[in-house]
Chains A and B, each alone.
Chain A
Amino acid sequence: DQQVKQNSPSLSVQEGRISILNCDYTNSMFDYFLWYKKYPAEGPTFLISISSIKDKNEDGRFTVFLNKSAKHLSLHIVPSQPGDSAVYFCAASARGGSGNTGKLIFGQGTTLQVKP
């Protein structure tokens, strides 16, 4: 049962343009969503997050949008740079009885290629 889905395995954009990565989830108990970036031979690196009480969070070139009614979130990168080329994972977490469980549910990942 895939609770977090990234339906696009890959995305290619031109340098300077916008990259939009999408993620869908099924569990309405998720209350925190994160994006991680992974370069080859490195571990995933935290990029940006959003709480379920918000619908937008922005950090520099990165903005995450959350649509709770559609159970959908997206990551926008503007402008895209060749160094952004990596695998992007969407992840979700649900609060447990004693606070955050630290259990992250990941999507399958989307490979972003930004062409110079």
Chain B
Amino acid sequence: ETGVTQSPTHLIKTRGQQVTLRCSSQSGHNTVSWYQQALGQGPQFIFQYYREEENGRGNFPPRFSGLQFPNYSSELNVNALELDDSALYLCASSSRGDLAKNIQYFGAGTRLSVL
């Protein structure tokens, strides 16, 4: 059973550019959540997708958007990158049973640097 995988592992962009981060959910998981972890901070909830629909959103502007595909993999898109978007982006997947216990399984993350 493969776990949650994210790509790329590292990315460097310049201010104003757009970026797409990818996540493959753990087998059997139909819910995916994205988190942003700034240096020295805990992860912050961006949004969650369930069956290809957004199912909850944190306090992030609309330039943060996402997609979930029929195979439950997911993308996080960020437009008009700002310096403060530099962070580790974590994807987490879960089944509905896991979610009932609030358990999410995290990938290793994508480290985004905005210059």
Contacts and interface: CB of A to CB of B under 8 A. Distances in A.
Nearest to B50: A102
A103 B48 CA distance: 8
A46 B43 contact: no
Residue in B99, B101, B102, B107 whose Cβ sees the most chain A Cβ within 10 Å: B102
A13 B33 CA distance: 34
B108 A100 contact: no
A26 B100 CA distance: 22
A94 to B, nearest CB: 10
Nearest to B90: A43
Contacts of A99: 99-100
B115 to A, nearest CB: 22
Nearest to B109: A43
Contacts of B25: none
A89 B102 contact: no
Interface residues of B, number: 28
Given A43-B109, A45-B106, A103 B56 contact: yes
Contacts of B41: 108-109
Contacts of A43: 4, 90, 92, 105-109
B58 interface: yes
Interface of A: 4, 6, 32, 34, 36, 41-46, 49, 89, 91, 93, 96, 99-109
A93 B100 contact: no
A104 B43 contact: yes
Most buried by B among A42, A46, A105: A46
Closest 4 CB pairs of A and B: A106-B42, A43-B106, A32-B102, A93-B102
Given A32-B102, A102-B99, A41 B45 contact: no
Nearest to A34: B102
Given A43-B92, A91-B42, A102-B102, 19 more contacts: A4-B42, A6-B42, A34-B102, A43-B107, A43-B108, A46-B103, A89-B42, A89-B43, A99-B99, A99-B100, A100-B99, A101-B48, A103-B56, A104-B43, A104-B45, A104-B102, A105-B45, A106-B44, A109-B41
